[in-house]
Structure 1
Amino acid sequence: MAASWTFAVARDELSRTTRVESALPELSDGEALLRVDRVGLTANNVTYAVLGDSMRYWEFFPPDRHGLDGRWGLPPLWGFAEVVASTVAEVEVGQRVYGYLPPAGHLVVRPSRMDDTGFRDASAHRAELPSPYNGYRSTVGDPAYRADQEDLLILFRPLFFTSFMLADRIVDNDWYGAQSLVFSSASSKTAYAAAVELRGRGPRLVGLTSPGNLGFTRSLGCYDEVLPYDGIGALDRVPTVYLDLSGAPATRAALREHLGDRLVRDIAVGLTNQIPNADAAGEVFFAPVQMRKRRIDWGRDGLDGRFADAWQRFTDVVGGWLDVQVGAGPAALEHAWLDVLAGRTPPEVGRVVQF
Structure 2
Amino acid sequence: MSSSWSFAVARDDLEQTTVVEKELPEPAGGEVLLRVDRVGLTANNVTYAVLGDAMRYWEFFPPEPRGLAPQWGLPPVWGFADVVASTVPEVVVGQRVYGYLPPAGHLVVRPERVDGQGFRDASEHRAGLPSPYNAYRATSGDPVYRADEEDLLTLFRPLFFTSFMLADQIIDNDWYGASALVFSSASSKTAYAAAAELAGRGPRLVGLTSAGNVEFTRSLGCYDDVVPYAEINELAVESVVYLDLSGDPGTRAAMRARLGDRLVRDIAVGLTTQTPNMEAAGEVFFAPVQMRKRREDWGRDGLDQRFAEAWRRFADIAGARLEVRTGKGPEGLRHAWLEVLGGRTPPRAGHVIEM
* TM class by smaller structure: over 0.9
Q: How does 1:224-239 map to 2 (within 5 A)?
A: 224-239=224-239
2:186 maps to amino acid? A
1:299 maps to amino acid? G
Separation in 2, partners of 1:349, 1:203? 29
Residue 330 of structure 1: how far off its partner (Å) = 1.2
Q: How does 1:315-334 map to 2 (within 5 A)?
A: 315-334=315-334
What are the Cα deviations for residues 17-71 of structure 1, in whole angstroms up to 9, with x where unaligned?
Answer: 0001111012210000000000000000000000000100000000011110101
2:93 maps to amino acid? V
Match of 2:278 in 1: 278
Residue 188 of structure 1: how far off its partner (Å) = 0.2
What are the Cα deviations for residues 232-285 of structure 1, in whole angstroms up to 9, with x where unaligned?
Answer: 112113111000000011111111111111100000001111111111100000
Match of 2:151 in 1: 151
1:162 aligns to 2:184 (yes or no): no
Residue 134 of structure 1: how far off its partner (Å) = 0.2
Q: Name the SS for the 2:98 alignment partner.
A: strand
Separation in 2, partners of 1:283, 1:92? 43
1:263 maps to amino acid? L
Separation in 2, partners of 1:27, 1:315? 36
Asked if structure 2 preserves the Cα contact closer than 8 Å seen for 1:83 and 1:92, the reply is: yes
Q: How does 1:236-315 map to 2 (within 5 A)?
A: 236-315=236-315
Query: When the two structures are superposed, what TM-score results if normalisation uses the length of structure 1?
Result: 0.99
Q: Name the SS for the 2:140 alignment partner.
A: coil
1:288 maps to amino acid? P
Match of 2:180 in 1: 180
Structure 1 ranges of 4+ moved more than 6 A: none
Match of 1:35 in 2: 35
Asked if structure 2 preserves the Cα contact closer than 8 Å seen for 1:237 and 1:258, the reply is: no
Q: Name the SS for the 1:238 alignment partner.
A: coil
CA RMSD of aligned residues (A): 0.7
1:84 aligns to 2:89 (yes or no): no
Q: Name the SS for the 1:201 alignment partner.
A: coil
Asked if structure 1 preserves the Cα contact closer than 8 Å seen for 2:180 and 2:237, the reply is: no
Asked if structure 2 preserves the Cα contact closer than 8 Å seen for 1:4 and 1:23, the reply is: yes
1:141 aligns to 2:156 (yes or no): no
2:55 maps to amino acid? M
Asked if structure 1 preserves the Cα contact closer than 8 Å seen for 2:57 and 2:76, the reply is: yes
* Structure 1, 40-49 or 319-328: larger mean CA deviation: 319-328
Match of 2:214 in 1: 214
1:131 maps to amino acid? S
Separation in 2, partners of 1:75, 1:318? 25
1:101 maps to amino acid? L
Separation in 2, partners of 1:123, 1:65? 13
Match of 2:193 in 1: 193
Query: When the two structures are superposed, what TM-score results if normalisation uses the length of structure 2?
Result: 0.99
Match of 1:74 in 2: 74
Match of 1:115 in 2: 115
Q: Name the SS for the 2:6 alignment partner.
A: strand
Match of 1:106 in 2: 106
What are the Cα deviations for residues 78-111 of structure 1, in whole angstroms up to 9, with x where unaligned?
Answer: 0000000000000000000000000100000000
Q: How does 1:17-32 map to 2 (within 5 A)?
A: 17-32=17-32
Match of 1:223 in 2: 223
The gaps in structure 1 that reach 5 residues or longer are: none
The gaps in structure 2 that reach 5 residues or longer are: none
Separation in 2, partners of 1:317, 1:211? 23
Residue 316 of structure 1: how far off its partner (Å) = 1.3
What are the Cα deviations for residues 120-175 of structure 1, in whole angstroms up to 9, with x where unaligned?
Answer: 00000000000000000000110110111111111011100000000000000000
Asked if structure 2 preserves the Cα contact closer than 8 Å seen for 1:40 and 1:353, the reply is: yes
Asked if structure 2 preserves the Cα contact closer than 8 Å seen for 1:178 and 1:264, the reply is: yes
Separation in 1, partners of 2:333, 2:262? 44
Separation in 2, partners of 1:67, 1:299? 41
2:12 maps to amino acid? D
